Structure 1
Amino acid sequence: MTTTDHAENTGTERKTDEAAIRELLQDRATATAERDAERFLGHCAPEIVDFGLAPPLRLTGPEALDRQAVEAWYATWEGPVEVTSTQIEITVGDGVAFAHSINRMHGAKACDSEVQLWFRATVGLRKIDGVWRITHVHESVPFRMDGSGLAALDLTP
């Protein structure tokens, strides 16, 4: 194998991996829309570290993979919870990858309020036994730096 052949194979493999990761992220968003906690969590590695939008500051392993907690969150919504990712960028290495995006969450809360917000997301992944698994999630909403400390929920890309 020449150096050029290796580079081409690596490029092809990376494109295949990137497509698989895009599909994984889309399936996770679809699982949220369908309120399918098992499918949503099924893409995660057992040792996941999750810095989500909701408290606490950090969840790890089994506490981050608590299906009942995800179902309880889904129960606070009326109908689907739409999460649309935009500006997705994926970087793939040898067995590791990360993706970052600007996401829109939209839906109706069970308490008759509508939610629409944009947030930032970074997802770290590892290829485990040939399958990409999420090992790290970090989601955030900017906050006002004017001393109020309020979340900037009115921002749009």
Structure 2
Amino acid sequence: MSEQQIRALLAARELAMKTRDAETLGAQYAPDVVAFTLAPPLAHRGPEVTDVAARRAWFETFEGPIDYEIRDLKVTIGGDIAYSHALNRLATTPKGAPAGFELWFRSTVCFRREDGEWRITHVHDSTPFYMDETLRAAVDLKP
């Protein structure tokens, strides 16, 4: 049952990204959440992560659809603590950009069960980088 609840929470997250549903995304987090996202700064905490207005404003920086996919999801549960890892895909077009982009990235999400409901306590998204003289992000990788 718990794994199904976590998978449902992440499926709702996937749909919320596609439909720009900032309220659903904000409600998924524990108040003390820490997120290491792709965008600066290095860490986002608590209200900064759960801020629905800020999430709406972020969605407005994109034109047209936002496509979001969670793939190869694995969930591990131990009591009231759980984590998942997956490969995620984001594809959209920034406002004013000549073209859109598609980006695959790694995502680890940690959960805590509070009052019978799973809440996200930590998110860590990352892209690998080329360890050569360029040190550029490897945003061209696909599973």
- Partner Cα separation in structure 2 for residue 76 and residue 106 of structure 1: 13
- Residue 126 of structure 1 is matched in structure 2 by 112
**Worse-matched range after superposition: 45-54 or 110-119:** 110-119
How much has 1:86 moved relative to structure 2? 0.8
Q: Which amino acid aligns with 1:100?
A: H
How much has 1:41 moved relative to structure 2? 1.2
Q: Which amino acid aligns with 1:123?
A: V
How much has 1:22 moved relative to structure 2? 0.6
**How many percent of aligned residue pairs carry the same amino acid?**
44
- Residue 144 of structure 1 is matched in structure 2 by 130
- Residue 76 of structure 2 is matched in structure 1 by 91
Q: TM-score, normalised by structure 2?
A: 0.95
Q: Secondary structure at the match of 2:48?
A: helix
How much has 1:129 moved relative to structure 2? 0.3
Aligned alpha-carbon RMSD (Å): 1.0
- Residue 31 of structure 2 is matched in structure 1 by 46
- Residue 56 of structure 2 is matched in structure 1 by 71
Q: Which has the higher strand share?
A: 2
Bigger Rg, structure 1 or 2: 1
Aligned residues: 142
Q: Which has the higher helix share?
A: 1
- Partner Cα separation in structure 2 for residue 111 and residue 29 of structure 1: 25
- Residue 13 of structure 1 is matched in structure 2 by none
1:110 has 2:95 as partner: yes
Task: Tell me if structure 2 keeps the 8 A contact 1:32–1:80.
Answer: no
